[in-house]
């Protein structure tokens, strides 16, 4: 799944964004904050990722691999555990390049488990 869209900062050097970024507030509403003009907000990316994950969850497929960028991975996991979009203002799950998280639903109670989070042992 695609990463957060950075609007006018797309394709610009990191230094360009560093000079212009609108920092996320530490308190108060954060879901609709945009780091720069045209960028997705947390609500935007969460809505997009939740729609994709919910589509996957309603399919008949069992063992699936979801490939995503780091920030988007937070919303895959948040959706998996049933966290409402209105509650993702502060949530973040670690996601390193090539990190693997294993999301499992048990066969008896249908609990959704984060069995592994950002496992990078395969890179050693």
How is 61-103 classified by DSSP, letter by letter?
--S------HHHHHHHHHHHTT--GGG-SS------TT-EEEE
Give residue 9's pLDDT: 96
Domain contains 62: yes
Structural domain containing residue 55? 41-123
Burial class (CB in 10 A: 0-12, 13-18, 19+), 22: exposed
Q: Tell me the C-alpha distance between 122 and 62, whole Å.
A: 23
* Total number of domains in the chain: 1
Give residue 101's pLDDT: 97
Domain contains 8: no
| Mean pLDDT within 55-67 | 91
| Mean pLDDT within 67-96 | 96
pTM to 2 decimal places: 0.92
Domain contains 19: no
């Amino acid at each position: 799944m695609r990463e957060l869209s950075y609007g006018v900062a797309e394709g610009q050097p990191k230094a360009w964004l560093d000079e212009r970024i609108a920092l996320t507030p530490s308190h108060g509403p954060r879901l609709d904050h945009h780091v720069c003009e045209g960028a997705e907000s947390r609500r935007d990316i969460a809505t997009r990722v939740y729609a994709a994950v919910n589509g996957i969850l309603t399919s008949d497929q069992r063992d699936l691999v979801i490939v995503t960028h780091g920030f988007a991975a937070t919303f895959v996991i948040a959706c998996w555990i049933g966290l409402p979009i209105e509650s993702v203002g502060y949530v973040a799950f670690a996601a390193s390049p090539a990190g693997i998280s294993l999301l499992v639903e048990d066969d008896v109670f249908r609990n959704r488990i984060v069995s592994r989070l950002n496992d990078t042992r395969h890179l050693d």
